[in-house]
Amino acid sequence: MGGESLFRLPSFTRPMTKSPLSILREHYGYDAFRGQQEAIINHVIEGGDAFALMPTGAGKSLCYQIPALCRDGVAIVVSPLIALMQDQISALAQMGIKATAINSTMGMDEVKTARQQVRKGEVDLLYVAPERLMMPEFLSFLENCKIALFAIDEAHCVSEWGHDFRPDYAALAVLAERFPNVPRIALTATADAQTRIDIVDRLSLNHGRTFLGGFDRPNINYAIALRNSPRDQILRFINEKHPDDCGIVYCISRRKVEDMAEWLCAQGIEALPYHAGLESDVRARNQQAFLQGERVIMVATIAFGMGIDKPDVRFVVHMNTPKNIEAYYQETGRAGRDGQPSNALMLYGLEDAAQQRQWIEASNAPDEQKRIQHQKLSALLGLCETANCRRQVLLNYFDDSCEPCNNCDTCQRPPETFDATIAAQKALSCVYRTGERFGVSYLIEVLLGVESERVEKFGHDQLPTFGVGQEFSKPEWQNIFRQLVASNLLSPTPDGHGGLMITADGRAFLREKPPLPMRHYEKPRKRTARALGSANSPAVPLDAAEMDLLDNLRSLRNELAREQKVPAYIIFNDRTLIELAQKRPNRLEDMLDVGGIGSSKLERYGKLFLDAISNHELSA
């Protein structure tokens, strides 16, 4: 639990006119603290340094906000995102607590006013980014102010072993030297054992106390599935479990974010894109719509989400695997912050692992850090392929534990397993005999005995492993290879060309041949009629002429969208275009009978689309 508490001088503590519990009741409206909140708060009020690890939604912010109201001076809160600062300041204002920020969006007069408020003791909390805090001039300014405490939020950013390392966070170690009598509290929801040690060491919190609040989020149902038809899988998930709920869908790239948001809108689902490539005002507008809406789905890269306090996010979907378990845990933790039942769904494939490995190798990180990142990715793949309780695997990664939860897919529908020892020997032998440089598709050709031109070219039809795997189909072998990678018996080659090589664990397996249980291959669920309905598969099939017209209408819509720099679905969604192609109205007033066209859009786009339909009719 860390070392003994380092108590500070009593002159830094306000007379206790109000107890922490009375502040909790008056300002926050709760009658009792949760978990270790009270112990952390009292420790910081008394002047002790602290590192607090608490699950998302457990009320970390109270652990520095309440001490800020009990101690003399202003609390300096280090926060990584301006949007997060603004959200917390607005929330505090609603509770009658005075807080402000100094950040890059503010003008000189606003910054001057904020500084005056801090100097005069007119605010209880000041939010700043680490980059601002570490400016020599700003540190000198703070040395002339009464500081109650420093709170370092999202403290995992301090550690190079963490999943979201930020160099400016590492510089925060200087606070211990320049403000030795001011207590510091570092807080995070996500840190494995190595990261926790690194945070305490880098921030010089060794003489403080460490509070570990556990990692379990029992209200979240975890499910992980092989990605086969991701759009339909996600649409089915939303329709079956969350037709009227707010959620987040994470995508691996900006292009995929925009494509998925547009496609969901075409299915009649209100979805908004969010990624770093969007204009800042668009991002701000979409985030605001998400925060204020009840049925809005945000489709985003991981640029979205840190510090999002929206309590009623009912689900989080990953269309690809995150880079490690810490990232997965933090991102899924944005669901169900209110403690109500929520869902986390991840879709994954072997190509995800290969891409993540390539990114690791292409980075400028030191070799030791790359090694750690590879290990963390392997742990995530193990979570994907486990036949055991997912929650147990997840918590075990953080040195926590639980009984089988009955609230994850493997508990609720235990997968069938088989002893894959012989199959694994065949697969590893095939990898070895072909030179540890070929990808899964080619290796399966050799195992199945496919007499292809490529196999004959390399002479691999003469190998002992040629044709020895015919007891399994191609999808079954894909399933086996995926689990061999997840078990770290095989690893992608470092050249990034998709080949596989045998790891040290794989070579040990070949020597010792221990039992190796694996999940049986499961055929993908058939698409239901409800899950269809995309523009490519309309509920009422289109004939050739209608499909041709639909293509023309899409081209016109996309051109308008490019001109206005907006997503195409904002012009018309695909369902509207399909109905236009089917009904082919020839008068403006008839277009009002088409779903998705109101008077405003009729005025803006009616004639353009009517002309497109008319021209198509003339050329047909």
Look at residue 565 in the predicted model and tell me its pLDDT: 67
Phi, psi of 382 (to 5 degrees): -60, -40
> Which range in 39-48, 85-94, 328-337, 598-607 is most confidently predicted, on average pLDDT?
39-48
Q: What was the pLDDT predicted at 534?
A: 33
Are residue 158 and residue 255 in the same domain, yes or no?
A: no
Whole-angstrom Cα distance, residue 373 to residue 539?
A: 45
Nearest-angstrom CA–CA distance, 63 and 74:
15
Provide, rounded to the nearest whole percent, the portion of the chain with pLDDT above 70. Answer: 89
Asked whether residue 579 is assigned to any structural domain, the reply reads yes
Joined tokens for residue 456: 């004959």
**Same domain as 464, residue 382:** no
Assign residue 322 the CATH number of its domain: 3.40.50.300
- Residue among 508, 353, 511, 507 at smallest CA distance from 440: 353
Which of these ranges, 532-536, 582-586, 607-611, has the smallest mean pLDDT?
532-536
What b/e readout covers 169-202, taking b as 16+ CB neighbours within 10 angstroms? bbebeebbeebeebbbbbbbbbbbeebbebbbeb
Is pLDDT above 50 for 567? no
Partner residues linked to 226 by β-bridges: 348
pLDDT 10s digits, 329-370:
989 989 988 778 899 999 998 788 778 888 888 888 888 888
Give the domain extent around 507.
421-515
DSSP letters along 473-486, please? -HHHHHHHHHHHHH
Length of the chain: 620
- Asked if 173 and 38 sit in the same domain, the reply is yes
Looking at the structure, do residues 205 and 283 belong to the same domain, yes or no? no
CA-closest candidate to residue 182, choices 211, 139, 212: 139
- Is residue 581, in this structure, part of any structural domain at all? yes
Domain identity same for 191 and 303? no
The CA radius of gyration of the chain, in Å to the nearest whole number, is 28
From 382, 412, 442, give the residue that closes a domain. 412
Residues 6+ apart with CB under 8 A from 120: none
Q: How far apart are the first and last CA of the chain?
A: 78
E strands of 71-217, at which residues?
Answer: 74-78, 99-101, 125-128, 147-152, 184-188, 209-212
Q: Identify whether residues 439 and 561 lie together within a single domain.
A: no
Q: How confident is the model at residue 572 (pLDDT cuts 50, 70, 90)?
A: confident
Query: Which is more confident, 326 or 222?
Result: 222
Closest to 53 (Cα-Cα) out of 183, 200, 164: 200
Query: Residue 529 pLDDT more than 50?
Result: no
The CA–CA distances, whole Å, from 523 to 225, 450, 479, 529, 532 equal 11, 23, 11, 18, 19
Phi, psi of 513 (to 5 degrees): 50, 55
How buried is 203 (Cβ within 10 angstroms: 0-12 exposed, 13-18 middle, 19+ buried)?
Answer: buried
User: What is the predicted pLDDT for the residue at 446?
Assistant: 97
pTM listed for this prediction: 0.69
What tokens does 246 get?
A: 């707010």
26 falls within a domain: yes
Judge whether 316 and 334 are in contact, CB under 8 Å. yes
CA angle 598, 601, 602 (to 5 degrees): 75
On whether residue 4 sits in a domain, the answer given is: no
Q: 31 and 119 share a domain?
A: yes
Tally of CA atoms within 13 A in the half-sphere of 190 that contains its CB: 25
For the four alpha carbons of 37, 40, 44 and 47, in that order, the dihedral sign comes to positive
* 314 has a pLDDT exceeding 60: yes
Tell which wins on pLDDT, 592 or 518: 518
* pLDDT over 80 at 112, yes or no: yes
Q: Is the pLDDT of residue 614 over 60?
A: yes
Give dist(CA 342, CA 315) in Å, integer.
6
Number of domains in the chain: 4
Check whether residue 156 and residue 49 sit in a common domain: yes
CB neighbours of 172 closer than 8 A, spacing ≥ 6? 78, 130, 133, 134, 152, 158, 202, 203
Looking at the fold, whether 301 and 432 belong to one and the same domain comes out as no
526 within some domain = no
Residue 322 lies in a domain: yes
The residue behind tokens 């277009």 is 591
Q: How would residue 373 be classed by pLDDT, with cut points 50, 70 and 90?
A: confident
Instruction: Evaluate whether residue 537 is within a structural domain.
Output: no
Residue at which a domain ends, from 170, 187, 212: 212
DSSP 11: G
The helix (H) or strand (E) run that includes residue 448 is: helix 440-448
Domain CATH code at residue 505: 1.10.10.10
- Interior angle at CA 176, CA 173 and CA 181, nearest 5: 160
On whether residue 523 sits in a domain, the answer given is no
- Res 13: pLDDT: 43
Same domain, 363 and 229: yes
The answer to whether the beta carbons of residues 140 and 174 sit under 8 Å apart is no
Q: In what order do the strands lie in the sheet with 184-188?
A: 99-101, 125-128, 74-78, 147-152, 184-188, 50-53, 209-212
pLDDT computed for residue 29 by the predictor: 65
Give the integer Cα–Cα distance in Å for 484 and 490. 6
- The CATH number that applies at residue 614 is 1.10.150.80
Taking the alpha carbons of 289, 290, 292, 293 in that order, is the dihedral positive or negative?
positive
Residue 612 CB neighbour total at 10 angstroms: 17
Tell me the β-bridge partners of 344.
Answer: 222, 316
Same domain, 138 and 236: no
CA distance 579 to 575: 6
Q: What mean pLDDT is reported for the chain?
A: 85
Across 91-119, average pLDDT: 88
- Asked whether residue 185 falls in the same domain as residue 300, the answer is no
Q: How far apart (Å, rounded) are the C-alpha atoms in residues 542 and 121?
A: 69
Among residues 356, 380, 412, the one where a domain terminates is 412
pLDDT tens sequence across 157-179: 888 665 567 777 888 989 999 99
